[in-house]
Amino acid sequence: MTEAVPSYLSPTGQEIVFLLLGAVAVGSALLVVTTRQLVHAALWLVVSFGALAGGYLVLTAEFVAWVQVLIYVGAVVVLLLFGIMLTRAPIGRSADLDSGNRWVAAVVAVATAAVLVTVVVDGFRTAYTPLKPGAGAAKELGASVFSTWVLPFEALSVLLLAALIGAIVLSRTDIPGGPPPEQTGGS
Amino acid sequence: MHIVYPAVVSALLFSVGVYGVLARRNTILVLMSVELMLNAVNLNLVAFDVWLGDRLHSGQVLTLFIIVIAAAEVGLGLAIVLSLYRNRRTVDIDQLRDLSEPGTSDTPADSAGKSGDQEGSGMPDDPAYPSTSADPADPPTRRLGEPAVAEDPATTPEPATAEDPAATAEPAKRGGAL
């Protein structure tokens, strides 16, 4: 696993592709957190998630890549766009998207990045694995989910049901039995 | 594939998410940053699953679980944000200070209410702002689609102590547009 580590100076094609996709993912993530337009943040999020899905493909995790495309790019971003539109956010530029403690946040983020990158580079410098395709295909992963991990899988379906019901209860306004109206006479 | 590459990309994505959570004011942008952090964790899990060659595929299965949990989290978070927007007409995190300590000095809503009561300098004799609504515990009494415009004068003096003039214009603009 860790024997005969190839040099970092002669990267393979897979590594070059992964690094390019990682650069796209990190760059568009930076645009997500720095852009001044709310809708553009959601659209840059699509780019970031798509590049990450490509990274999963390079890492031979095919099924995870397609689930990422389906759920993140397909469902989560659409939900976020719905949220942006339902809160009647301004479509164009808005000046107040950043908080006052922006510089403190930047310092904290840079410190986090420095610590994590230092530790990770120091710890996994010699870790190397050859990629063999097919290890993360739907067949392998499905067999694993439905043989070993079937109990967490079922618990997760119950969790999704609970989240769905919770979202409906939070969203509806005509459910009786809320807190009693005091001196305002709410309907 | 060197494992350092996905690990470093994941660390950078996580830091970007940390910055977004700390620096953004819009609640939906904070949710997006949380998604970025979850994706960084997913990339780490996939990379280490490939490295270790786990026969049970623990890392990739856990990645699938995290993706599902993130979808549930976004659904619930957006429901909470929409309910908040119905009651307060804002999704600005900096203005949601009902759970802050009453004694701290950097809570604009509380200090504005107290100064309005004791000194009368902030807002003297506003009929739409009775003195009983100065305590921060009353916003749950108006829900169920009741318009929050009657309380909006209570929020207008609060950014007078805030740092940027953009915050003063925003609630008035949104209240007028609705």
At A175, the amino acid letter reads I
Q: Cβ A145–B61 below 8 Å, yes or no?
A: yes
Of B39 and B95, which is predicted with more confidence? B39
Would you call B5 an interface residue with chain A, using a CB distance cutoff of 8 Å?
Answer: yes
The predicted-structure confidence for B13-54, as pLDDT tens digits, reads as follows 999 999 999 999 889 999 999 999 999 999 999 999 999 988
Would you call A81 an interface residue with chain B, using a CB distance cutoff of 8 Å?
Answer: no
How sure is the predictor about B102, in pLDDT bands with cuts at 50, 70 and 90?
confident
> What is the predicted pLDDT for the residue at A183?
53
Compute the distance between CA of residue A5 and CA of residue B44 in angstroms, rounded to an integer. 20
At A113, the amino acid letter reads A
- What was the ipTM of the complex prediction? 0.88
Which one-letter DSSP state was computed for residue A7? P
Tokens of B76: 């619930």
Compute the distance between CA of residue A50 and CA of residue A65 in angstroms, rounded to an integer. 9
Length of chain B: 178
By the 10 Å C-beta count (0-12 exposed, 13-18 middle, 19+ buried), A34 is classed as middle
> What is the predicted pLDDT for the residue at B98?
83
> What secondary structure does DSSP assign to A118-164, as a single string?
HHHHHHSTT-B----TTTT-HHHHHHHHHHTSHHHHHHHHHHHHHHH
Those residues with Cβ within 8 angstroms of residue A30's Cβ, 6 or more apart along the chain or in another chain: B16
Q: Cβ B4–A156 below 8 Å, yes or no?
A: no
pLDDT tops 60 at residue B143: no
- Name every chain A residue with its beta carbon within 8 A of the beta carbon of B144: 173, 178, 181, 186-187
Cβ neighbours around A41 below 10 Å, total: 24
Q: In whole numbers, what is the pLDDT of chain A averaged over residues?
A: 87
Q: Looking at chain B, which residue has its C-alpha nearest residue A139?
A: B57
Compute the distance between CA of residue B50 and CA of residue A57 in angstroms, rounded to an integer. 12
> What is the predicted pLDDT for the residue at B113?
41
> What is the predicted pLDDT for the residue at A132?
84
Q: Cβ B39–A72 below 8 Å, yes or no?
A: yes
pLDDT tops 80 at residue B142: no
Nearest to A108 among B6, B22, B166 (CB): B22
> What's this model's pTM, rounded to 2 decimal places?
0.75
Best mutation target among B38, B48, B66, B74 (most A Cβ atoms within 10 Å) is B74
Instruction: Say if residues B49 and B60 touch (Cβ distance below 8 Å).
Output: yes
